[in-house]
Amino acid sequence: MTDTAQSPVHAAAQALADAFDEARALATVTALCTPVMSGRSLGSAGHDRATRLLEDVLASWGLTPRLDTFPIREVMRLAVQPTCHADGPLLSRNLVHRAEYAEHPRSGPMPAPVTATVAAAKDATAGQWAALLEVPQGDAFADLATELTNRGAVGILAPQNADGSGFLTKRVQGPAPVELPVVAVRPDLLSAAVGGELTAHVPLLREPATGTNIIATLPGSNPEARPVLLTAHYDGVGSDPELHFPCAGDNASGTAVLCEAARVLSQAAPLPRPVIFALVDAEELGTLGSRHHAKQLTGQSLAPDVLNVDMAGKFNGKVAIELGPADPQPKALIAALDASGRQLRIPLYAAPVSSDNRRYAQAGFAAAGIGLGAAHYHSPLDAVERIDPAALRKAGQLVLATIYRLTQP
């Protein structure tokens, strides 16, 4: 198709892009990030509130969203606010949860506080905490945990560095738990704790939950045409018992971009191809919602072109694009993204976007992950006040212009 500054395609794509309202998108981000949303953690009342809110938002644009549920084997959450106290010659005080210590995703049960002296793992004997100064990878961690269990250790202290925000990044998934309790501790404090006594109570619960994808379809003028799929995950890592995680950049921002794009497209003239909007769940637990959705689409003999937006809260001068599958190359998707980026003067570059786009690519769909960024990752500082409205607008405009081009003959 011809695409010059004077062409109808160029003008129509620009008109859709210009209709994106970043103030509306920011309002959606704000609504999703209030404390009552509980960080949108699976299994929480806040997550259910977010689902209802987003269902209402899509319905307000005349769409008919449906809720598609799927089982989740396990969600990790803290039963109560954890505690950790060190008492030794180099470190004697209460440690600060999330800034100095945190739960570890491989921890075994810890229903009550554990008090014991701390020894380096190689020297730990019965009745002691085993401090790991380096973390063995893969099966080696489980093997070491088994060895320490046989030695009679009461638990493992594993190092975790703080990120740029000063917090220990919240982890909500991982390999199977080991038998012993495991607590993550900032490395400098972990070294200082060796030789003293430590009391910790970090009770991680693992419970089943139900994920919910929110799906709405905007019919095209040719309802039999192959659809375009716009996706974003709306779940978050969840709040701590006494510390709120807004999860604004990751991924209330992408969710808001999808909702605003749905408004613009639902109020525009019908496109030739249907557009499916999918707010997918449980991305933070291993992209489980998109895996479920991709299987459904395959079962319906649908193979959409996919755009997935994850983290649109901060613009660092260019937009990351991950394309898949590599063979065959999704030529139409590449061309539409490239033309839209050039028209809107939004620099694009090939970079990893590790999100739901990979599930759709694995299903054999032409898929692109779109990522701008977030001010902080899996941190309580990932808040609304750190969302850049200009980033929302760039992401929304890029999505709208690309969808328009994809739907043209």
Stretches in the chain below the pLDDT threshold 70: 1-2, 326-329
308: preceding bond cis by omega (within 30 degrees) = no
92 and 21 both lie in a single domain = no
What is the structure's pLDDT at 2? 57
What's the CATH code of the domain at 138? 3.50.30.30
pLDDT at 138: 82
For residues 160 and 68, state if they share a domain. no
Helix (H) or strand (E) holding 262: helix 253-266
Q: Which of 180, 202, 224 is the last residue of a domain?
A: 202
Overall domain count for the chain? 2
Residue 234 lies in a domain: yes
Contact 78, 41 (CB under 8 A): no
Same domain, 98 and 72: no
Backbone angles phi, psi at 121, to 5 degrees: -55, -40
Domain boundary among 140, 171, 202: 202
256-311 confidence digits (pLDDT tens): 999 999 999 999 999 999 999 999 999 999 999 999 999 999 999 999 999 999 99
- CA pair distance 5, 98, nearest whole angstrom: 52
Q: Indicate the residue among 202, 229, 246 that finishes a domain.
A: 202
Q: Which domain holds residue 156?
A: 81-202
Statement to judge: residues 396 and 294 lie in one domain:
yes
Whether 47 and 198 have beta carbons less than 8 Å apart is answered as no
- Which residue has tokens 């709306």? 234
User: Which residue pairs, CB below 8 angstroms and at least 24 apart, start in 360-363?
Assistant: 360/229, 360/231, 360/290, 360/294, 360/304, 360/306, 360/308, 361/306, 361/324, 361/325, 362/294, 362/324, 362/325, 363/294, 363/295, 363/297, 363/298
pLDDT of residue 3: 72
CATH number assigned to the domain comprising residue 357: 3.40.630.10
And the tokens for 265?
Answer: 């497209």
pTM of the predicted protein model:
0.96
Q: What pLDDT, on a 0 to 100 scale, did the predictor assign at position 39?
A: 98
Considering the domain architecture, whether residues 89 and 119 belong to the same structural domain is answered as yes
| Residues 97, 13 share a domain | no
